[in-house]
């Protein structure tokens, strides 16, 4: 690897050390708990019959659709663009929230408990959100190191999780 490429890669920003393994483990844990609770043990799904299946299905599909939209759009903006220098992506879904990929995963997974109203799955999703929030905070500190005031201005303009 040439020195120039290494320097460009170095400046792009650092991921949280547990980014990949943490996400994989949380998603597996979440789906396993959701399936076991929703379809086998049914410990915390007592609200399921309170809401009509059509409402539950509509909320589920809405969350899955919005989640896929955020994941796909943010993925395309980050990985389809080639640039000779690092830059802040502050357009598209990145003009709505600063972490649309992470938010997309959370919204997608939120669709599952809307179907079954599994309180255990919602609890794990809240812990997953805390993990994502800490991961995002870690990564943002590095983005401030890389981009300085430009990233700080972006942080003030665009909400971390909720649009401003």
Q: What is the pLDDT of residues 151-160, one digit of tens each?
A: 999 999 999 9
Residue 9 domain-assigned (yes or no): no
pTM, to two decimals: 0.83
Domain of 37, in residue numbers: 18-157
Number of domains present in the structure of the chain:
1
pLDDT digits (tens, 9 = 90+) for 37-73: 888 887 777 777 777 889 889 999 999 999 999 999 9
30: domain CATH number is 1.20.120.1630
- Which pLDDT value is given to residue 78? 84
Give DSSP secondary structure letters for 17-85.
Answer: TTHHHHHHHHHHHHHHHHHHIIIII-SS-TTGGGS-HHHHHHHHHHHHHHHHHHHHHHHHHHHS---SS
Residue 12 domain-assigned (yes or no): no
Residue 8 domain-assigned (yes or no): no
């Amino acid at each position: 690897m040439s020195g120039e490429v290494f320097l460009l890669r170095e400046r792009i920003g650092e991921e949280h050390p547990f980014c990949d393994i943490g996400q994989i483990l949380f998603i597996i844990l979440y789906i396993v708990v959701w399936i076991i609770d929703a379809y086998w043990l049914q410990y915390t799904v007592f609200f399921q019959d309170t809401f009509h299946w059509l409402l539950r299905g509509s909320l589920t599909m809405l969350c899955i659709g919005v989640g896929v939209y955020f994941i796909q759009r943010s993925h395309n903006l980050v990985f389809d663009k080639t640039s000779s220098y690092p830059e802040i992506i502050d357009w598209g879904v990145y003009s709505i929230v600063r972490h649309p990929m992470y938010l997309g995963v959370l919204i997608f997974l939120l669709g599952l408990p809307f179907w079954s109203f599994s309180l255990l799955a919602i609890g794990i999703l809240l812990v997953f959100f805390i993990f994502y929030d800490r991961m995002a905070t870690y990564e943002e500190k590095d983005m401030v190191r890389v981009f300085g005031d430009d990233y700080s201005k972006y942080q003030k303009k665009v909400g971390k999780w909720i649009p401003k």
